[in-house]
Amino acid sequence: MREIPGLELQSDDTTVLENESVIVLIPANYGSLFVTDSENGRTAAFYFEERVPALDADWPKGTHARLRATADDPEPLFQRTTTDEEMHRYLVSIGASDLRTDDVHMSVTPETDEIDVTHIYAD
């Protein structure tokens, strides 16, 4: 919570889902906090529904972001989707420029320079 300036959790509207894991959803003024307990441990992620410019200088307009932390690594990492230009550049760099961008989800973690690419095979 300290990582997001002005964050206000709306704990009265908390939702708890139980299946093979327990998921707690807490709405807030900037988005929603998801906390998941599973056999792999606890993960907390805050998904932003609006841009908070004070949070990270590397948050281009038009991208979506989250802060994520795990029990093993409790220091939150800022992750965001890529811009169209970044996606094209990264796809070219891995020799996958022929993929339809509608079928690709790509995110970047600026602090570690990690890029996560997921391709959905559509029939």
Beta strand pairing call for 65-70 and 77-81? antiparallel
* Per-residue pLDDT, 33: 93
Query: Where do the H-state alpha helices sit in 4-83?
Result: none
Q: Please choose, from the candidates 50, 108, 42, 30, the residue with its C-alpha nearest in 3D space to the C-alpha of residue 69.
A: 42
For residue range 51-88, list pLDDT tens digits in order.
886 776 678 888 899 988 888 887 888 899 998 898 88
Give tens-digit pLDDT for 28-53: 999 999 999 888 888 999 999 988 86
Share of the chain above pLDDT 90, in %: 25
